[in-house]
Amino acid sequence: MSDYVSFECRGDIAVIAVNNPPVNALSQPVRAGLQDAFAAAGDSQCRAVILTCSGGTFIAGADISEFGKPPADPWLPEVLGRVESMDVPVIAAIHGTALGGGLETAMACHYRIAVSSSKLGLPEVLLGLLPGAGGTQWAPRLIGVEAALDLMISGQPIGAGAALKAGLIDRVAEGNLMEAATVYARELIESGAGPRRTSELAVATAHLPDGFFDGVREQVAKKTKGLPAPQKIIDCVESAATMDFESAIELERQRFTKLMMSPESAGLRHMFFAERQAAKIDDIPQGTPIRPVNSVAVIGAGTMGGGIAMSFANAGIPVTLLELDNGALDRGIGICRGNYERSAKKGRYTADQVEYFMGLISGTTSYGDLAGVDLVIEAVFENPDIKYDVFRKLDQVCKPGAILASNTSYQDLDAIAAVTSRPEDVVGMHFFSPANIMKLLEVVRGEKTADDVLATVMKLARKIRKVPVMSRVCYGFIGNRMLDGYMREAQMLLLEGATPAQVDGAMQKFGMAMGPLAVADLAGLDIGMKARQAIPDLPDHPSTHVADQLVEMGRLGQKSGAGFYRYDPETRQRIEDSQVETMIRAEADALGIEQKSFSDGEIVERVIYPLINEGAQLLDEGIAQRPGDIDIVYIYGYGFPAHRGGPMFYGSMIGMDKVYSRISEFRETLRADDWNPARLLKTLAEGESNE
């Protein structure tokens, strides 16, 4: 029928095949091809239709290149209406993944058969959307209200076995999928089974308690922080249970259109594209040769080093931990085992998997044992002299071509590389704690880092399930350099009259996973104090006074039971502390800072706008490649709300002219040196003002 969709009759069975590599996305040509193919099948003498896909997967979803553009005819609902209305049985033959519109296409078919390795899901909620081509109506008819809600609100796919048990598919194929689908089609023909249209199935509701949907709304609201898409999904599933199909479908389309226009979906879609773009380095061509990494070593078996080791073991890569003595080494390996065993208790791993992962982690106290590894990652204390010593030793013992990486979060990577005879092999790999869980990896490009080293590390990051973002060298790189202004203003607000709970509460309402002061308590207030003391001639800033006084009072954060808050020793629950508020007021008086009240909106501006401003400065300096890279760093590394798209996208949604104006106002009314607008921010603001 077309280059994208083929049609042929094999005896009395029609076979329609989608061929749109690599994932058979539902682009406009595919939709048009499907419409024509099913029209041809309807005009033929075929007694059944099999819908299949070439390549490695069934239809894996929509064509992401069409996101945000006006829909092109034919619309997917129109195509799927044609599929469901067929007068002969239509069987979806599923392999790989059937996601989003792909699963909706399968549900529009009358019967479904899938190979055992298939994954099926409706992940639209992850983009701030809902299934908009009938999915909210078909799913509850096939698998019930509760299972349909879980499938759509979680956005997580299920395997073929679970799909069969739920009723989402009818059979699991044994052996060749097309052969099994053909046998199934023949059985349907010979038994006289006609179309089984999903829209004509009843939604089972008799078992649902009174107020079921209101209860679900309340539960989901607590988990999703008021995001609109989950609530709209509930509306649509309720309509499936209470309205006729056509009316409910109309409601689904209205809700889908409204979500597509929402800022939350815009932010999530931006994140979707930014994550994929961040994996690319603009001046390194695709196809750049990469170095093999079949063995890894990590210097330092502390919390960070152990977490890094686990990240590689989880990907099946052998890793050697190096420590100064056997006691520290045994403690580090013991922490890894403890982490795995806790995960096993939660059902994430089996006992056999734990032993497999631990079998990939070995230990040594001798640098000589690292002579044959392909990659070494230094994860020692943030002291430049210690790091220089480590890299001198690695330069002596590691084989030619081995990649030498530093996990430093602040130090000058070029200075580290300069102590070696092979600076081209040195790169930054800044993991975030806990390294076995956090997805972000800042890949730091030194002045002399070789292209193939960068290409290797960016690809390796994906293998160990990290999201890589490339940064050039500067103090703190992207994330921690931007963090300075964020934390500075959070603490200045305390001196100006806000309480820790007010600041953290405003930021959590904004969507941050934790407020900045709660994060500081979690990290340890003494860590920040020691880091400042290590910087020669660092000017005094009033924003650090409160945290430093807390450390002097023995309040180091959660680990000491008190910091900006007191912590319940059993539950770790934060408790506001009047002693802290009294100390803050006294310090404000000593500094001559007048205290006042703040709204949540003012707090958000004071804390978030420094991120936007510093991000613009990083772009202007060429430290970050693109705004989306900065957004990914903050979403995956610092708990920035994904539905706001990251600080740079959030700034663009507000309007950079408004951000610039407010920062200029802060420069006039607050500490001027803290609020110098970035040159690029001013340029962007002037561009918006002239539009």
Catalytic positions are 104, 124
Are 23 and 57 in contact, with CB atoms under 8 Å apart? yes
Q: Whose CA is closest to 424, among 393, 397, 456?
A: 456
List, in order, residues 6 or more apart from 172 with CB less than 8 Å away: 113, 114, 115, 116, 160, 161, 164
Are 288 and 368 in contact, with CB atoms under 8 Å apart? no
Are 546 and 587 in contact, with CB atoms under 8 Å apart? yes
- Type of residue at 680: L
Reading the block at residue 570, the tokens are 């059993």
Crossing angle, helix 500-510 and helix 516-523, to 10 degrees?
110
Omega into 29 within 30° of 0, i.e. cis? Answer: no
Backbone φ and ψ of 603, nearest 5°? -65, -45
Crossing angle, helix 647-654 and helix 656-669, to 10 degrees?
100
Q: At CA 659, angle to CA 653 and CA 661, rounded to 5? A: 140
- Pairwise CA distance, residues 691 & 681, whole Å: 16
Are 602 and 251 in contact, with CB atoms under 8 Å apart? no
What is the DSSP secondary structure assignment for residue 468, as one 8-state letter? E
Residues 358/359/365/367 CA torsion (nearest 10 deg)? -120
Question: What radius of gyration, in Å, describes the C-alpha atoms of the chain?
Answer: 28
Helix, strand, coil distribution of the chain in percent, nearest 5: 55, 10, 35
Q: Give the C-alpha distances (Å, rounded to integers) separating 501 from 27, 477, 504, 580.
A: 49, 29, 5, 11
Q: Give the C-alpha distances (Å, rounded to integers) separating 407 from 451, 471, 523.
A: 19, 13, 17
Q: Whose CA is closest to 503, among 634, 613, 597, 615?
A: 597
Reading the block at residue 332, the tokens are 């580090």
Pairing of strands 90-94, 467-472: unpaired
At 286 the three-state DSSP class reads: coil
Q: Is the dihedral of CA 465, 467, 473, 479 positive or negative?
A: negative
Q: Checking phi first, is residue 46 left (phi over 0); if not, alpha (psi -120 to 50) or beta?
A: beta
- Pairwise CA distance, residues 361 & 321, whole Å: 7
Omega into 22 within 30° of 0, i.e. cis? Answer: yes
Backbone φ and ψ of 119, nearest 5°? -125, 135
